[in-house]
Chain A
Amino acid sequence: MIRLQAEAISVAYNGRQALAAVGATVEDGEVVGLVGPNGAGKTTLLKTCAGLLEPERGAVLFEDKPLAEWRPAALARRLAYLPQGASYAWPLRVRRLIALGRLPHLPPWRRPSPNDEAAIDRAMRLADVAHLAGRTADALSGGERARVMLARALAVEPRLLLADEPVSGLDPRHQLQVMEVLKGLAEGGASVVVTLHDLSLAARFCDRLVLLRDGKMMAEGAPAEVLSTVNLETVFGVRAVSGRQDGSLYLLPWQVVNGPEGTAPADKM
């Protein structure tokens, strides 16, 4: 079942065309990765799919209904958005921060039910932050904070999770753990859209990739196809060393090449 469908959306942002006629589909049980160089429009696309930005042209449909027709509260129960940065205004206790994810499920003036508490517990276990429950947000490392915010998004128990660079800033162990969590979510029937810079993680954990550059969709499909040598050179301006392990592709960007941006190659002596 198609969970999310973005049809030819164009978004203007800060005076420039951030996205031009980009389309994508996300099905149940999929992890879709958004990849591309900085400024490609990955975050813009993610936000538009979350309903946080209005496209000038095109539409986003969630469960076959345009976003505009969804009541915000109903949408919030099924769609979770995890922004970059893990910032917070007040240093709440970790468990209370994560509990904010249950807000869409709580009628006004109602306290969290045992059901809600169980959802929070599950989210904390998945994100491996259960041992941090009593700490305040100020007392966390950057990586711990990122996982706490992920737990918050997981606490929503969404059908669709839109995560903006959830693993940047995490150590290798936790990077793998988070990606496993996202994969697990998809295996449980939900859908995940995630923006990534790490091409190996993208290749390994995503079912499909969408490659963007300068607001345009350059490629879409299986990781091996999208992350072809040609695409790597033309879009990213790099040459990579690749291989396979356990059936998954891995990629190690190795060399800068002359890309259309006119970047000079690193001269080999």
Chain B
Amino acid sequence: MTGGDAVASGPAPSWLLPLGLFSALVPLCGLSLLAGQVSLDPGQVLAGLAGTGDEAYGLIVWHLRVPRTLLAVLVGTSLGLAGAVLQGLLRNPLAEPGLIGISTTAALGAVLVFYGGFAAVFILALPLGGMAGAAVSVVLLMGLSGRGASTFTLILAGVAVNSLAGALTALALNLSDNPYAATEIIFWMLGSLADRGFDHVWIATVFMLPGWLLMLGTGRAMDALTLGEETAASLGFNLASLPWRSVLGTALAVGAAVSVSGAIGFIGLMVPHLLRPLVGHQPGRLLLASAIGGALLLVVTDIAVRLLPTEVELKIGVMTALLGAPFFFFLLWKMRRTQQ
């Protein structure tokens, strides 16, 4: 794997961290199958998985808990990966789909498609709407912030996009003929994994997978970009295509995720930050680790949301915000300190 003196120079092989994260993810997914409004013991869950025993167990496990867990993994992966890509591309540690408005515009796109009735006609229209919304804002943000623009500019741009998209979403919902629509904004803005089914899983996967591949493929170019654009070009990388591949990948994955689970924030901010020191700050190595780390964090959060003794289940976006906002403050404080 590495040459003779690599041991002396320090960091562990690149596959160690993703493997470690993955091996933590698997048991947590098992735990996720145990969490729910009806308390089932492991034996009953296993019986449900195997299709033996009471039919009700099978229904609950296969139709409710398995899709929910899968969706947490898929959405978490997409958000973690997108956060790492955006931070590498924009060379800004505060870039993440929620903060800079990509999730909100994706929600707007999904809302327009769903309440406009298009999703009823063609089910894949829903993630397509999410993707279109996400793509619009990524392109807009890249244009506004340029390459390596200041954090201040980027966050302001994000605030503007978030406000506008949020307002338009509320408007679209209020204009809907359906009386329930007006209160459903909470789902779109805060996100939820509750009562999702395999339908949601597969329509999300169809677009997430190519999105992930595109994003993971930008790893080497981003590593090269560490040395600046000219050196990266001299190392043989086509820098013109990099932003577009990142945009498309992010739009595909985040758009699909938001269209089935609403806008869940802060995963893309926290995970890359926590893992960056463990990958020696190398943007390419961060990608896979953030993907799995994102899945891990969202699964954990989703379990917590189900274990909380609230009357109505807490929206998962509230939980991620409760974790993420203090984290964000901490980041800002750290940045101010290094500036001084």
- Chain A residues proximal to chain B, CB less than 8 Å: 47, 50-52, 72-77, 79-83, 85, 87-97, 100-101, 103-104, 106, 108, 111-112, 114, 117-118, 120-121, 133-134, 136, 149, 152, 156
Contact = CB atoms under 8 A, between A and B. Distances in A.
B3 A103 contact: no
A69 to B, nearest CB: 15
Nearest to B87: A90
Contacts, number: 105
A108 B220 contact: yes
Given A90-B281, A103-B220, A117-B3, A72 B236 contact: yes
A117 B223 CA distance: 17
A152 B224 CA distance: 11
A97 B284 CA distance: 12
Contact of B223 (A80, A82, A103, A114): A103
B1 A111 contact: yes
Given A92-B226, A108-B220, A76 B234 contact: yes
Interface residues of B, number: 33
B230 A95 contact: no
A81 B234 contact: yes
Contacts of B11: 93, 96
- Listed from nearest, the 10 A-B pairs whose CB atoms lie closest are A117-B3, A76-B236, A81-B234, A133-B9, A73-B236, A90-B281, A72-B236, A95-B9, A134-B10, A104-B236
Contacts of A95: 6, 9-10
B2 A52 contact: no
B8 interface: yes
Nearest to A120: B3
6 contacts: A83-B228, A83-B231, A93-B10, A96-B11, A100-B223, A100-B227
Given A72-B238, A81-B231, 17 more contacts: A50-B234, A51-B233, A72-B233, A76-B235, A79-B234, A81-B230, A85-B228, A89-B283, A90-B281, A90-B283, A96-B282, A103-B223, A106-B220, A117-B3, A133-B5, A134-B8, A136-B281
